[in-house]
Amino acid sequence: MNDYYDKVLGTRIGRSVLGSLGFPTPVELRRPDGERGVFLSGSVLLGASEDAALQDYLVRCLAASEARVCIPAGCGHAARILAAAGREKLDIDPVECSQEALSERFSALVFDATGIETAAQLNQLHGFFHPVMRNLDHCARVVIVGRRPEDAPDAEAAAARAALEGFCRSIAKEIGKRGATANLVRVEDGAGGMLDGPLRFLLSPRAAYVDGQVLTVTGAPEPPDFDPAQPLAGRTALVTGASRGIGEAIARTLARDGARVIGLDIEAAADDLDAVMADIGGKPVVADITHEKAPRYISQKLADAGGGDIIVHNAGITRDKTLANMPEAWWEQTLDINLGAVLRINERLLADDVIAEHGRIIGVSSMNGIAGQVGQSNYAASKAGVIGWVRHLAADLRDSRITVNAVAPGFIETQMTAAIPMVTREIGRRMNSLSQGGVPGDVAEAIAFFAEPGSAGVTGNVLRVCGQCVVGA
Ligand code: NAD
């Protein structure tokens, strides 16, 4: 973010002038410092609606954190939380939750809203959150857990479940200026055992730029045991476009988490690719993904490596012009690199059976694929195509236990976005609840989350990594 705006923000007078003119003054987001780190520390306030069903899983997850776990004193629904805490040998501290009495600062608020099935029961959201909204730390996390509206027994329950999304997205906008985020996890009936991985991610500094999002967790067998410090140990990951930008960050992050990385890029990027792979002990593969022999070649490379567990289709380009001015070649090249090649390669890998059981296929879409953008009809078409492909393939592969997901980055600081004209770039960077661009590592962390064994219940999701950008929200 080394630009003029940030230089002005770096001075006290600059901040004061920009603030008084109504310009956003972003806070520095808390991100992992090289290591995965502790997923949550400080104090977390845990609450539940009447008849909520997933407190046991929430308590188990929080017991593995370094946070002090609190519940609102006198809360009528504490019995189940306390019983679960007893089983986990977790001390829970009641705190007096009134705006007048509360001085405690919270690093996270977690609310089990799975019992909310009527419009009247939505009042419980106000009851839990209202007294504590002023007591959030900088970069705090709010996570709400609810049920899927599409599984609701009746129309009112569907309405109540859907209401959680509007609530969550609104409080995300209210707390974003403090660098804090709010996200909703929707859990299919019977899939509570799959909550742990998504919760740990959303509560952690790794999800610094994931804000105002809805993640769906569906039924899946219990995830295999794994080492939380090195969850990808023993796994092989293919990352396309790995020489720089987001792809480089993905390669580095997956290697940090224990994966053996095969990084792929074009001939022109071979030197940079070699340097990145040498640094992380990965294997460079030079190929143009649009070449007609690329699918077979990449499949063979994975077979030589004993198969692939994680496939990240990251390589992509922009060739921007309004449609009236766009040469056919720009249209075709963008569609072919960003979408056509992805489909052809993935089809080959599945047909050759080189993606392991419990494999992870991860696409890279874009916020502009959701919202559309002037001058990006080719790019947006290709990135919307990635979303359609991921959702369909996830359903197709449900029985094979291979998950398929996509990230949709918003404004991420890379060479791709550095090439955008200054004024457009500045607008793109600030138009989100956190008032700043993301960094490649933010996208990489979301991809590493999809790749983890603990994400076995996460499939068919398109997760925006955009700081809750107003575009296409
Ligand atoms: P980048 O231009 O820095 O990196 C893209 C990489 O893909 C490069 O290493 C490039 O050599 C490689 N590549 C391009 N064509 C290839 C081909 N035919 N075969 C093999 N490799 C090829 O871009 P980035 O910003 O790091 O973007 C990475 C991905 O994230 C892209 O899919 C992009 O569309 C997506 N994305 C980026 C942003 C952002 O703000 N930067 C936002 C949304 C989505």
Tens-digit pLDDT profile for residues 138-172: 999 999 999 999 999 999 999 999 999 999 999 99
Mean pLDDT within 30-54: 93
pLDDT tens by residue, 63-121: 999 999 999 988 877 888 999 999 999 999 999 888 777 888 999 999 999 999 999 99
Instruction: Indicate which atom in ligand 1 lies nearest the CA of residue 367.
Output: 43
Instruction: Indicate which atom in ligand 1 lies nearest the CA of residue 245.
Output: 26
Mean pLDDT within 266-292: 98
Q: How far is the CA of 384 from the centre of ligand 1 (A)?
A: 16
Q: How far is the CA of 272 from the centre of ligand 1 (A)?
A: 14
Mean pLDDT of the chain: 93
Band (pLDDT 50/70/90 cuts) for residue 415 is confident
pLDDT at 105: 94
pLDDT at 452: 96
Mean pLDDT within 453-470: 96
pLDDT tens by residue, 178-237: 999 999 999 999 999 999 999 999 999 999 999 999 999 998 666 667 888 899 999 999
Mean pLDDT within 252-256: 98
pLDDT at 1: 43
- Of 52-66, 80-94, 279-293, 308-322, which range is least confident? 80-94
* Contact in structure between 262 and 283 (CB atoms under 8 Å): yes
Q: Given ligand 1 and candidates 265, 293, 368, 436, which is best to mutate, with the most ligand atoms within 8 Å of its CB?
A: 265
Asked if residue 442 has its Cβ within 6 Å of ligand 1, the reply is no
For a pLDDT cut of 70, what percent of the chain falls above it?
94
Asked if residue 244 has its Cβ within 6 Å of ligand 1, the reply is yes
Instruction: Indicate which atom in ligand 1 lies nearest the CA of residue 269.
Output: 11
Q: Given ligand 1 and candidates 367, 416, 431, 462, which is best to mutate, with the most ligand atoms within 8 Å of its CB?
A: 416
Asked if residue 441 has its Cβ within 6 Å of ligand 1, the reply is no
Backbone angles phi, psi at 48, to 5 degrees: -150, 150
Asked if residue 195 has its Cβ within 6 Å of ligand 1, the reply is no
Residue 297 annotated to the active site: no
Q: Which residue has the higher pLDDT, 398 or 282?
A: 282
pTM for the model stands at 0.95
pLDDT at 12: 66
Q: What is d(CA 176, CA 330) in angstroms, rounded to the nearest whole number?
A: 37
Residues 6+ positions from 11 with CB-CB distance below 8 Å: none
Confidence check: pLDDT of 2 > 60: no
pLDDT tens by residue, 426-456: 888 999 999 999 999 999 999 999 999 999 9
Instruction: Indicate which atom in ligand 1 lies nearest the CA of residue 243.
Output: 9
Confidence check: pLDDT of 5 > 80: no
